[in-house]
């Protein structure tokens, strides 16, 4: 089956879904996006994703040419047109076609497209056994250079850290901020468990405010598990009892080794298991 892509107001076949080589989203990474999940025919946390998309666009002075209601409809239309009940959505807004040169004033019409497809970020067996990660030497972008809270099309900072992970033979890397504190992974937010308390870096530590991260914090409250947002250092990761990462694509992934060191017992921990089960129940019942 050929996928249908929503592109600037209409559904087109995948092989016809093209943007110009003069689009500043391609030339300069000038644009914003969201990754969104559909579970059992329902778009998960859609309003939270739209909030972040429109906030990211506002932060970079990009006016999304669709009102929220129409954008919401485009997402629904796209996954239903492809017959999906469980899938991944990629919603993208670019600055649009312009001339060579970075000046956004040369771009008059932003472009919007929505992709619905299947995704498997990590193999299934990894969710049972946990994964290994490294600490990257690539520093997270300084917040005064580009706010990590903007989900922009320019992911080169994260990609360079992911290359280090690839070179080390692991699927993810932890990134530190300009102060040397833990920020996030290349595509996921990070959590640790220490003495029964779940801990995750704060917004000021240079993280993307993950939608799944926010859901996980709420689930900790529902499950009566203490959870705090606080500054973490690499030392805290090394002495953690458990670790896991969260993201729209990854969902909840246990981490059992960092920089060659086992975390806790080296097995997926009980709090991670409890929260993972709670998350799976939540996404099917909301």
Which residues are known catalytic residues?
A: 151
What value does the mean pLDDT take over residues 84-111?
96
- Alpha helices (H) in the chain, listed in sequence order: 24-28, 46-59, 68-81, 124-129, 156-168, 211-222, 234-238, 270-285
Tell me the residue range of the domain where 252 lies: 124-285
Q: Among 100, 117, 134, give the residue marking a domain's end.
A: 117
What value does the mean pLDDT take over residues 128-148?
95
Q: Give the chain's domain count.
A: 2
Domain match, 63 and 161 both: no
Domain match, 107 and 151 both: no
Q: Among 117, 147, 180, give the residue marking a domain's end.
A: 117
Domain match, 202 and 106 both: no
Angle at 38 between CA 34 and CA 40, to 5 degrees: 170
Those residues with Cβ within 8 angstroms of residue 80's Cβ, 6 or more apart along the chain or in another chain: none
Q: Among 117, 144, 176, give the residue marking a domain's end.
A: 117
pLDDT value at residue 201: 98
Domain match, 225 and 174 both: yes
Residue 286 has pLDDT above 70, yes or no: no
pLDDT value at residue 285: 79
Confidence of residue 127 (pLDDT cuts 50, 70, 90): very high
Domain match, 221 and 95 both: no
pLDDT digits (tens, 9 = 90+) for 240-264: 999 999 999 999 999 999 999 999 9
Domain match, 224 and 250 both: yes
Domain match, 18 and 135 both: no
The rounded distance, in Å, linking the Cα atoms of 263 and 130 is 10
Domain match, 180 and 268 both: yes
Domain match, 137 and 269 both: yes
Q: Kindly calculate the radius of gyration of the chain based on its CA atoms and give it in whole angstroms.
A: 19
pLDDT value at residue 120: 84
Domain match, 113 and 129 both: no
Mapped onto helix, strand or coil, the DSSP state of residue 125 is: helix
The rounded distance, in Å, linking the Cα atoms of 86 and 42 is 8
pLDDT digits (tens, 9 = 90+) for 174-213: 999 999 999 999 999 999 999 999 999 999 999 999 999 9
pTM of the prediction? 0.94
Q: C-alpha distances in angstroms, 118 versus 6, 83, 195?
A: 16, 12, 37
Q: Take residue 248 and report the two structure tokens written for it.
A: 């729209």
Domain match, 278 and 236 both: yes
Domain match, 175 and 256 both: yes
Q: What are phi and psi of 272, to 5 degrees?
A: -60, -45
pLDDT value at residue 121: 84
What CATH number does residue 203 fall under?
3.20.10.10
pLDDT digits (tens, 9 = 90+) for 43-78: 999 999 999 999 999 999 999 999 999 999 999 999
Confidence of residue 1 (pLDDT cuts 50, 70, 90): low
What CATH number does residue 65 fall under?
3.30.470.10
Q: What are phi and psi of 125, to 5 degrees?
A: -65, -25
pLDDT over 70 percentage in the chain: 99
pLDDT digits (tens, 9 = 90+) for 160-174: 999 999 999 999 999
The rounded distance, in Å, linking the Cα atoms of 74 and 264 is 45
Confidence of residue 2 (pLDDT cuts 50, 70, 90): confident
Identify the H or E element spanning 172: strand 172-176
Confidence of residue 284 (pLDDT cuts 50, 70, 90): confident
Residue whose token pair is 């076609």: 97
């Amino acid at each position: 089956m050929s996928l249908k892509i929503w592109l600037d107001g209409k559904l087109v076949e995948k092989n016809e879904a093209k943007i110009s080589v003069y689009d500043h989203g391609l030339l300069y990474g000038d644009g914003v996006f969201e990754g969104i999940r559909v579970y059992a025919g329902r778009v998960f946390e859609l309003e939270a994703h739209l909030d972040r998309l429109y906030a990211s666009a506002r932060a970079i002075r990009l006016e999304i040419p669709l009102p929220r209601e129409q954008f919401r409809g485009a997402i629904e239309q796209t996954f239903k047109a492809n017959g999906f009940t469980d899938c991944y959505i990629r919603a993208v807004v670019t600055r649009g076609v312009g001339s060579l040169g970075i000046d956004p004033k040369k771009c008059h019409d932003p472009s919007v497209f929505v992709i619905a497809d299947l995704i498997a970020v990590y193999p299934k067996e990894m969710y049972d056994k946990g994964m290994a990660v490294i600490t990257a030497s690539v520093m997270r972008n300084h917040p005064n250079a580009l706010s990590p809270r903007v989900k922009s099309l320019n992911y080169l900072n994260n990609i360079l850290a992911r290359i280090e992970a690839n070179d080390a033979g692991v699927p993810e890397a932890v990134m530190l901020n300009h102060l040397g504190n833990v920020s996030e992974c290349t595509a996921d937010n990070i959590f640790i468990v220490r003495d029964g308390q779940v801990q995750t870096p704060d917004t000021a530590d240079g993280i993307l405010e993950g939608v799944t991260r926010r859901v996980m914090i709420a689930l900790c409250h529902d499950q009566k598990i203490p959870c705090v947002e606080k500054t973490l250092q690499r030392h805290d990761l090394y002495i953690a009892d458990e670790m896991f990462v969260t993201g729209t694509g990854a969902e909840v992934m246990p981490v059992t080794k960092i920089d060659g060191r086992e975390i806790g017992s080296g097995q997926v921990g009980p709090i991670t298991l409890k929260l993972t089960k709670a998350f799976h129940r939540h996404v099917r019942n909301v």
